Amino acid sequence: MRVALSGLVAFAVAAATPALAQNANPLPAGDGRDIVAVACSQCHYLGTIAKIRDGAAGWRMYVDNMVLRGAQLTPAEIDKVVDYLSLNLGPGANLPPAKPVTLPDGAGKNLVETRCELCHDLERVATIERGRAQWPAIVANMVARGATATPEEAKTISDYLAANFGN
């Protein structure tokens, strides 16, 4: 009986551990944080969300997409969530510490460091495998979401990323 009870207690602790870790909220303080924590943690680890940086239009697309997939938010809560995310997880805001990454030299390196790093840590750029042909669409998507780049700069960034991080 004692062994069975010990096993049951160990199982309960092990089963609760992910939930306890999930309760450590890595999101910055602010109006709307609790709504984000409850609504988003149903499917996502909050640490992942805390690493994303996007403007209001980009966050609106994310949130609308999640509502279509089942996130339980009222229209007023949607607006509050988008406002919270835009203010606290917008370009350059509250960036978590990242591992230092040194990019290879080449035309476009400076643009990647000054433009892309406003929203992304460079580790993300350097470690996620992408095909060479994917980079122009990714850069165009970032520009559509508000990244600052002229068409010529966007091409230079795309060419640099494809040459150095395309497979």
pLDDT in tens, 88-135: 988 777 766 667 788 999 999 999 988 888 777 788 778 877 899 999
Find the CATH number of the domain harbouring 37: 1.10.760
Identify whether residues 156 and 120 lie together within a single domain. yes
Q: Is the pLDDT of residue 21 over 70?
A: no
Confidence of residue 14 (pLDDT cuts 50, 70, 90): very low
Identify whether residues 26 and 81 lie together within a single domain. yes
Q: Are 130 and 138 in contact (CB under 8 A)?
A: yes
Residue 35 lies inside a defined structural domain of this protein: yes
147 CB neighbour count, 10 Å cutoff: 22
Task: Note the pTM of the prediction, 2 decimals.
Answer: 0.53
The total number of structural domains that make up the chain: 2
Residue 95 lies inside a defined structural domain of this protein: no
| pLDDT on residue 96 | 63
**For residue 60, what are the domain limits?**
17-88
Q: Are 76 and 44 in contact (CB under 8 A)?
A: no
**Assigned token pair, 45:** 């680890």
